[in-house]
Structure formats: C-alpha cells, structure tokens
Structure 1
Amino acid sequence: MDQIIDFFKHLIDPEWIIAHGGLYLILGIVFAETGLFVGFFLPGDSLLFVAGIYVEELAAHFFNVPYILIIAMIALTGIIGNMVGYWFGKKSGPLLFKRKDTFLFKKKHLWQAKEFYDKYGGGAIFVSRFLPVVRTFAPIVAGIVNMERKKFMFWNVVGSISWVFSMMLAGHFLNKAIPTLKDHLEWIIIIIVVITTLPVAIKFIFGKSPIHKHFDEFGNPIEQPPVKEEIKS
C-alpha cells in the first residue's frame, strides 16, 4: 500500500517523471490528463514547463531527433487525449452524471466543466487547456452535449499546440537565458501551480456557482445535462 501511495506522489513530481520515465511517461501523463477523467490530478503545466527545460536531453535519448519534434509529439498526444475524452463523453452521455462519486471521480468536476463550456462555447476547449481539472473534463462534456466534430477538432488542435508549445518553449528558452534555472525547480513548480490553479480556486471559493443546485442532499443529480441531437447531413 505504501508503495502505491509513493508512486502516486511521484506522479505529481515533474522532476521524478522526467528522470524515471522520460518521454514515454510524459506522453502517458499528458494523454491521461487530457483524455481520461481519472487523470485530473496529474501535473500538466508544470510538467510541460520542466520538460521544456530538459527537452534537448529528451530529444538526445529519443534517436537524437530535433527537440521541436519532441514538443510536436507531446502536442499530438494532447490532441489524441482530447479526442478520446470527446468519444468517451459521446458514448457514455448523461450516464456519467448518474455515476456515484469515487476517490478519482467527482460529479462536481463534470458540472464545473459543463458550466465552463456553456459560458465559453467552442472556445472552452481552447481556454480549458490552460486550466487544471477543467482541461480533463471539458472534452468529455463536449462529447456529452454533442459538440460538432469539426468545431471540436479545430479548437482541440489549436488548444493543444498553443498549450504545449507555449509551456515547453518557455521552459526551454528561460533555461537558456538563466543557466541556474534548474537549481530552483521546486520554487518554479510551486509558482506555476499557484498561477494556473488560482483562477479555478477563486471561482470555487468566491464564485457564485450553481453547481450545488444540480445535486440533492445525497449527491444524486437533480437534472440531466441537455444532450443535443446531432444533425446528420
């Protein structure tokens, strides 16, 4: 049991991920965080930033390819992850909202993502890339409400490329400009986590969210999310 707990602790440590899993573990985590609802707790922004710092080493260990190809592979993984989330939401539909809460699944995250989607429309897929937790559930909700595939894929591709390239290139070039950057990774990771989670935290604490209206005293959904009928051409 202790080994399992230690493993999950390591999964939120970007330095450990890069040192012990390299590119393959990074790809797996990015896929899980963007496509599987159980991956919402995994590090996204901080992992990409730190991966950008070590991107040349990652490229050297992967057939010595140009580092830009490593960044592109990770962006592609984010695109595929969202596609899986969209497919999962489309197939599971409102049944997810009837699912009982577990340690790794909370209905409130789905409602948060749905409200975010309702507010920003298609652009929610893009904006959610930069918000922890929301980026995991946004594609699932897009599938549940039958968002048009072409529209979803456009924002999916643009969002993943923007998110991955901005985070990794920021880490790469800042490391070039400040050679001692690696000596302060713990503080950098803390700062990134605070900055990226602050909007979500403020919304959760101070925002007047109607999420509680969706559940009764036993945590069961009072209403079902509206599902649009897909228009077939």
Structure 2
Amino acid sequence: MFQALNPLDATSLLTALGAAGVFLVLFAETGLLIGFFLPGDSLLFTAGLLCTAGRSGGVHLSLPVVLAAAVTGALLGAQCGYLLGRRAGRALLARTRNRHLLDGAARAEELLARYGHGKAIVLARFIPVVRTVLNPLAGIVQVPARSFALWQVTGGLVWSVGLVLGGYALGSSIPNVDRYLLPPVGVIVAVSLLPLVLEVLRARRRTRTATKHQEPAA
C-alpha cells in the first residue's frame, strides 16, 4: 500500500493514509518549506467528497475526523512555520534555490507590504506556495505573535473547513460524484486561485489610476 502512495495525488494519499494524510499534508504544506508542492486544496476538497454516504465504493472517511485533522494540521502547521521563521531567520529562504519557493516568498512579501498583516495572512491561505512561505516569512519580519495567531486561525479555519464542507456538499448532492473526481477537483483548485487573480486585477487598476493622476495636464 505504501509503495502505491503518490504524494501529488489527493485520492492516492487519502486511500493510503485516510484522515491522517490530511493532517500530515496540511502540516507540511503550511509549516515546512519542503511541503510547498503538496496538494492542499485538492486534498481537502477530495476528503470532503469521500465523507459522503452512498458512494460507489472505495475509501470512506468520517466527516468529523477529517474536519479535525484538517483544522489541526492547518493551524499547527502555520504556527510551526511562524516559529521556525522567527528563530531561524532568512537563512531558511536564503539556502533554497527552488524557483517556486523564491517566487512564493516574493509574492508573500508583497502581500504583507500591500495589505498589512491580517489581510495578507488570510489571503495567503488560498494561494498555493504562498501559504507555505508566508508563515515563516511572518516570523522573519517579526509580525507580532498574537496578531499572527489571530489571523492564521481565522484564515486556516475558513480555508480548511470551507473546502472540506464544499466537497462534502457536492458529494451529498450528486450521487457517485467520486467517479468523476478530476473535474470538481480541477474546479476547486481554480477557485482557490481566484483571490490571487482578483488582487492582481485590483493592483493593475490602482496602477492605471495612479498613472493617470500623475500625468501632467496638457
């Protein structure tokens, strides 16, 4: 069973590890830089689908257990990432040559600078890679511990519980939807990127507006 485990495939992870896989993946993805490649969004949504009754077969998960695993992994992982960043400093990021992590760090710094601690920490939960890097980065730039804890809990609960319940609601309303996992999982991954897309559009709009105001009158 372990040999068949594919860490990049949500269904494989859940079949092999069950709810424990949810905890492990979310903890690694939000707390450890090495977990940036893990499928947090699709895993949560798929786990919710696999909690529904009347499925066609295969693994079946308990909704309360999945929710507990998701919340615990998301919150403890983020807090662990923050503490690592606070203690280890920028050496954590300086040692990596991974382009995805470096890009994520740049985007995370931009979020913190543009939106402030609270909004940036919540938004980062919905952006792959950025949610991995922002937590240690928050520790590096000395975001106050109480402020970080408040906002990471808020964002973590909305993200983890929302995606699990979204998958559960879809699975409950459409019989045997697990036979067609790829389309809904693709949709939820796309939806998870919407906050980033919206923020990019807003930033461009603000830039155009600022440029117009700076243009000298004819």
TM range (shorter): 0.7 to 0.9
Q: Hey, what's the Cα distance between the residues in 2 that align with 1:170 and 1:106?
A: 28
Q: What is the TM-score normalised by the length of structure 1?
A: 0.74
Calculate the aligned-residue CA RMSD, in Å: 2.6
Structure 2 stretches of 5 or more lacking a match?
53-59, 205-218
The alignment status of 1:41 with 2:37, answered yes or no, reads: yes
Residue of structure 2 in register with 1:58 after alignment: 61
Q: What is the TM-score normalised by the length of structure 2?
A: 0.78
Alignment of 1:210-225 (within 5 A): none
Residue of structure 2 in register with 1:192 after alignment: 188
Q: Hey, what's the Cα distance between the residues in 2 that align with 1:72 and 1:127?
A: 22
Alignment of 1:171-182 (within 5 A): 171-182=167-178
Measured after TM superposition, the shift of residue 175 of structure 1 is: 0.8
AA aligned opposite 2:16: H
AA aligned opposite 1:113: A
AA aligned opposite 2:106: W
Residue of structure 2 in register with 1:62 after alignment: none
Query: Runs in 1 of length 4+ with deviation above 3 angstroms?
Result: 197-204
Measured after TM superposition, the shift of residue 28 of structure 1 is: 0.7
Residue of structure 2 in register with 1:98 after alignment: 94
* Cα pair distance change 1:95/1:118, threshold 3 Å: same
- 1:112-154 CA-to-partner distances (Å, cap 9, x unmatched) read 2111121122221111111111111111111011101111000
AA aligned opposite 1:132: P
The alignment status of 1:155 with 2:158, answered yes or no, reads: no
Q: Hey, what's the Cα distance between the residues in 2 that align with 1:78 and 1:159?
A: 9
The alignment status of 1:126 with 2:122, answered yes or no, reads: yes
Structure 1 stretches of 5 or more lacking a match?
60-66, 209-233
8 Å contact kept, 2:22–2:73: no
Alignment of 1:64-143 (within 5 A): 67-102=63-98, 106-121=101-116, 122-143=118-139
Measured after TM superposition, the shift of residue 202 of structure 1 is: 8.9
Q: Hey, what's the Cα distance between the residues in 2 that align with 1:135 and 1:40?
A: 8
- 1:197-227 CA-to-partner distances (Å, cap 9, x unmatched) read 46657989xx88xxxxxxxxxxxxxxxxxxx
